[in-house]
A = this chain, B = another copy of it.
């Protein structure tokens, strides 16, 4: 049986408010001596699971309706061009969504339906209660942080299937995974599978960055099946609608695309409104110019028309639209550095100044905002990025890509970026966009997506520990205890990737009994210090105790004299036992490559 079989879907309940939050329960075996270990409940992003052809139940629909501030309406007329020119030629989209499709809703005229609006009005929503249960915190913290703009709950009223989650410096660090087809198209079912795969391993949000055919229909399938918020970069679809000619883009085409996506239920959208005409020349002397796709599209448009970025000039109209659906801004950093040589330069910081201005403007409409960040930054210059953003943007959540701390490791950029991601998250970044091993080189496959997600869960978790998030170390301690007690199956079950942990173990010691073997697979019985410790107990128990007690008394006096607060008990046997996985400089890795 696989260690992941120790994982079960469970729920945390709030009977009073008729709420239940899915969690993953990890069942554990007893410690030696039959001492039971309680199951560990961990944050779950995979949701309850769904039939891809049917989608998830619209859990939030009742909550939204109960507030009485939205109206159902026919919605924008379907345009086959939404699915690309080949759909127009065919006269239909491929694989049209057949499952239940909620009738679009929007705020009644004059109403605002954003979580920020409610929070500022002092209203505690079901979404906020759901989040508080997930984060194991006071709901008032949720409300006040959302009201202040320091946290967002991306929750489009047209995505009632989603489970509310929160992005903010006061909460668990979140991670995003990207999916989406491209010029090289993949089937819609594959895209849905990728979304489910990413959330299974821990993606808190998913961005659909499709740029190929069937963009509209692919997004429909993804949203209807997604338990996590979905983000997009609408300029990509808008560009498809003008045959890829950046200069042919217009505000009207873009607005229409945004409304199309608002009605489908996109929860947050990347808007490159900070790429101003006058900033483009600041990239002239860069080593790597403009590396943001959306940034280069808008820079091209600005220069082509010699006009200011229409996303900037029409920003307030965008706010009015977002306010009617509760879509959150993800203010894109189109001028982010594409190499450590360009880090923290004039272009990057000029754009950040504008993103700060736009943050305030969006807040004036009660629209939720997060701000995107780099990119490529040497480790010693990472911290200033988040501190500067937090200061200029009045604490609006920061959402960064990495950053990569060196440019010399293509093929390993999930690692170069996880190093920077941990550093920037511990100092206040609220969400990290994952990077896969294929970054800079090609298209990630299923394994790459998993590797990217797990790597970023590590970075986010390391930051949660550094920030002292309540309960952050529970899983670490449970796993280390299992390791110390040679409960191999529990070690696997408690790890971020039980399948890989078990597989690696079995490569060395496949035999089933080894799962409970009381020596370390790396060193063999002779070199297992647990076994050595057991010998000590067997053959020298009394002497050991005497020695220990004597030594203890000595140290005890010494440490008390030194004012140490460490209290010294007589050593119990476990104190002398070793754990699986010795770490004398490299004992473990001194094995036999075969």
Q: Does A440 contact B (CB under 8 A)?
A: yes
Q: Does A561 contact B (CB under 8 A)?
A: no
Interface members, chain A 457-511 (any B CB < 8 Å):
457-459, 461-463, 465-466, 473, 475-477, 479-481, 483-484, 491-492, 494-497, 500-501, 503-509
Complex alpha-carbon distance, A564 and B496, angstroms: 46
Chain B hits for A330, CB < 8 A: 585
Task: Please tell me the number of chain A residues within 8 Å of chain B, measured between CB atoms.
Answer: 200
Complex alpha-carbon distance, A180 and B289, angstroms: 47
Interface members, chain A 409-461 (any B CB < 8 Å):
409-412, 414-416, 418-419, 422-423, 426, 433-446, 448-449, 452, 454-455, 457-459, 461
Complex alpha-carbon distance, A294 and B435, angstroms: 39
Known: A247-B535, A306-B546, A411-B497. 5 other contacts (CB 8 A): A246-B536, A295-B529, A296-B532, A410-B581, A442-B591
**Contact status B441-A339, CB under 8 Å:** no
Q: Does A124 contact B (CB under 8 A)?
A: no
Q: Beyond A288-B483, A441-B504, A442-B522, is A283–B184 a contact (Cβ under 8 Å)?
A: no
**Contact status B176-A523, CB under 8 Å:** no
Q: Does A209 contact B (CB under 8 A)?
A: yes
Complex alpha-carbon distance, A281 and B533, angstroms: 13
Q: Beyond A290-B529, A544-B304, is A571–B480 a contact (Cβ under 8 Å)?
A: no
**Contact status A440-B580, CB under 8 Å:** yes
* Residue from the set A523, A564, A588 with the largest chain B CB neighbour count within 10 Å: A588
Residue on B nearest A550 in the bound complex, by CB: B306
**Contact status B462-A525, CB under 8 Å:** no
Q: Does A583 contact B (CB under 8 A)?
A: yes
Partner of A536, one of B303, B372, B585: B303
**Contact status A179-B547, CB under 8 Å:** no
Q: Does A112 contact B (CB under 8 A)?
A: no
Chain B hits for A575, CB < 8 A: 280-281, 283-286, 289-290
* Chain multiplicity (copies): 2
Chain B hits for A443, CB < 8 A: 507-508, 521-522, 591-594
Complex alpha-carbon distance, A473 and B401, angstroms: 21
**Contact status A209-B555, CB under 8 Å:** no
Query: Can you offer 13 A-B residue contacts whose CB atoms are under 8 A?
Result: A179-B593, A207-B590, A245-B535, A281-B548, A281-B551, A287-B484, A288-B480, A293-B584, A346-B566, A379-B426, A380-B426, A416-B462, A418-B419
Partner of A442, one of B466, B505, B587, B590: B505
